[in-house]
Amino acid sequence: MIVLTNNDGCVCALNRYAKALNIPRFAPYFQIKDFCERNNVVVRSSNYALYADLSTRFANILADYSPNSHVYSIDEVFLSLAGMSNSIKDMQQFSVDIRRRIWTELRLPVCVGIGETLTLAKVANHAAKKIRGYNGVCVIKSRAQRNQILTQMDTDEVWGVGSRMAKRRNSCGSVLKKCRPPSQLPKITIGRVSRLAQSVSQLTRPLRKYKGAP
Q: Whole-model pTM?
A: 0.72
18 vs 172: which has the higher pLDDT: 18
**Per-residue confidence at 7, pLDDT binned at 50, 70, 90?**
confident
Integer CA distances (angstroms), 57 to 51, 54, 91, 159, 183, in order: 10, 5, 23, 25, 45
6 vs 110: which has the higher pLDDT: 110
What's the pLDDT at 94? 96
What's the pLDDT at 63? 95
Which ranges in 64-152 belong to alpha helices (H)? 91-106, 118-130, 143-150
Look at domain 48-147 and name its CATH class: alpha beta
**How far from the centroid of its chain's Cα atoms is residue 136's Cα?**
11
Q: Of 71, 91, 72, which Cα lies nearest the Cα of 82?
A: 91
User: pLDDT tens, 181-191?
Assistant: 555 555 554 45
Average pLDDT, the chain: 82
**Per-residue confidence at 179, pLDDT binned at 50, 70, 90?**
low
Ramachandran sector of residue 136 (left: φ over 0; alpha: ψ -120 to 50; beta: rest): left
User: Are 193 and 176 in contact, with CB atoms under 8 Å apart?
Assistant: yes
65-84 average pLDDT score: 93
What's the pLDDT at 98? 96
- The answer on pLDDT for 20 being more than 90 is yes
User: pLDDT tens, 75-132?
Assistant: 999 999 998 988 999 999 999 999 999 999 999 999 999 999 998 999 999 999 999 9
Query: Three-class SS of residue 46?
Result: coil
What's the pLDDT at 162? 56
User: Are 5 and 12 in contact, with CB atoms under 8 Å apart?
Assistant: yes
- The answer on pLDDT for 60 being more than 70 is yes
- Sequence ranges of the domains in the chain: 2-45, 48-147, 152-204
User: Are 138 and 128 in contact, with CB atoms under 8 Å apart?
Assistant: yes
